[in-house]
Structure 1
């Protein structure tokens, strides 16, 4: 029950669904991640099964390794897996859709898991997600905490998606065709533009422009800037009848800013 799955669970429960997930510790709404008996029982009874668990450090998919056989045999009418648009690798800023090949980028473990889920059974829906932001996890928090960076890579373009738009996309797929879907907003842009707009909303100074070397990013963060792509969401719009409520980062960040109880000048 990570960030996205928890947000989905809140919406589903408000609509009258019974939702249970796994977490580090058992609670009234979750099963401990190592309680095989309870998890296998839940999988056998579920109408809908979603895995939002990323590959492990050794590259394997921990859900498939432990419960793949049970999921393959489950009677669930809907099965989904949250993947990443990182499986497409670097497109040098070009648009990419679900027909593109996967596995050429830095997210090799994620690409392998993506393909393994597709092969598990022929009715698994795959959702490829770019950078996820939302309440408590956005450029607003990073700017406020002094953790935001602007990197001097003027041609670097990324896609992103508000967590609530992932939720609406998943729910739209409950009644839509099988397939692989990119869920992203409509306007890819540089990370610098996002940081600059967040700073404007908060009325704080824009972080200085740094080179990659000056920023001293972690290897994982630096690897983020090694790829450059624009993600197309046209298939999800056409096939699922879905569309992002927050079509770009300005709409999304402005809504989050107002949720702080503040007003834009």
Structure 2
């Protein structure tokens, strides 16, 4: 029996469950609040409230019967909430074959616009990135100790339906921030789902897989392209140095790198539906 348990049913994990949940005999998901769990229940998912503390009986039983675990919940200052809350049940899950952890390319340090890949040592510039590095190591250690395949999916900037320059332009909130030489990789949420599905079928690949598009590009180019497709005038360019940004938003611009996705393409055999932002934005406009 193939039973999937998803920890942290956010944007990416929810999309994976939508597109690939039928490949499993049962799918359980978690939410941090009863309100979110109720909403997921209403959408037809078996949802459990879990905030990193003591797991409920039904969630523990689901973990004990799981064949696959997908972890999307982010770390907190104390570490990984999933390992902390259900680590003992994972150790006892006799049918467990695979664990996927959704991480971030933010674990790589600033490369001055040069290329990085999975062989590049993770040296995060931020506290958030350092937590991710620690949790990646914890999951890989768990896999080595338990004999369960673990894959780490390092995700680029996520976009897709409801979360893109297209919605921002239509809402009048889009900005064209310009920082000389700055580029970002992106990844469409559907391509994330495809990567995870491919990892389940090829669990020995990796264990680290960069999930990023083929063309790192300046952020202002994406806004300009989307505006052109929508028939809108792009917003004025704003110099990064004078822009009013939150500390978190500003921190994203402190790291400039181009991320290779060779393991995704050649190891997992994933052919991206949206290899650059152009295909992804065009689909969202349509």
Q: TM-score, normalised by structure 2?
A: 0.85
Q: Distance in 1 between matches of 2:18 and 2:48?
A: 16
1:145 corresponds to? 171
Q: Could you say what the CA RMSD is over the residues aligned between the two structures, in angstroms?
A: 1.6
1:104 corresponds to? 124
**Residue 159 of structure 1: how far off its partner (Å):** 0.4
Q: Is the 8 A contact 2:188 2:274 kept in 1?
A: yes
**Residue 211 of structure 1: how far off its partner (Å):** 2.0
**The one of 26, 40, 43 aligned to 1:18:** 26
Q: Distance in 1 between matches of 2:72 and 2:27?
A: 14
**Residue 116 of structure 1: how far off its partner (Å):** 1.6
State the secondary structure of the residue aligned to 1:19.
Answer: strand
1:233 corresponds to? 261
Q: Is the 8 A contact 1:12 1:19 kept in 2?
A: no
Q: Is the 8 A contact 1:126 1:181 kept in 2?
A: yes
Deviation digits for residues 171-219 of structure 1 (CA, Å, limit 9, x no counterpart)? 1111212411111111111111111111112222211111234321111
Q: Distance in 2 between matches of 1:128 and 1:181?
A: 6
Q: Distance in 1 between matches of 2:17 and 2:123?
A: 30
2:61 corresponds to? 41
Q: Distance in 2 between matches of 1:121 and 1:15?
A: 23
Q: Is the 8 A contact 2:155 2:210 kept in 1?
A: yes
1:244 corresponds to? 272
1:262 corresponds to? none
Deviation digits for residues 147-170 of structure 1 (CA, Å, limit 9, x no counterpart)? 222222130011010000011111
The answer on 1:191 being equivalent to 2:219 is yes
2:49 corresponds to? 32
1:67 corresponds to? 86
Deviation digits for residues 61-115 of structure 1 (CA, Å, limit 9, x no counterpart)? 2112212232233231111100000001211111111111113322211222122
Q: Is the 8 A contact 2:152 2:209 kept in 1?
A: yes
**Residue 16 of structure 1: how far off its partner (Å):** 5.8
The answer on 1:208 being equivalent to 2:232 is no
Q: Distance in 2 between matches of 1:20 and 1:64?
A: 17
Unaligned runs of 5+ in 2: 1-8
Tell which deviates more after alignment, 18-27 or 230-239.
18-27
1:76 corresponds to? 96
Q: Is the 8 A contact 1:159 1:185 kept in 2?
A: yes
| Superposition pairs of residues 122-201 of structure 1, within 5 angstroms | 122=144, 123-176=149-202, 177-178=204-205, 179-201=207-229
State the secondary structure of the residue aligned to 2:27.
Answer: coil
State the secondary structure of the residue aligned to 1:174.
Answer: helix
Unaligned runs of 5+ in 1: 259-265
Q: Distance in 2 between matches of 1:72 and 1:193?
A: 47
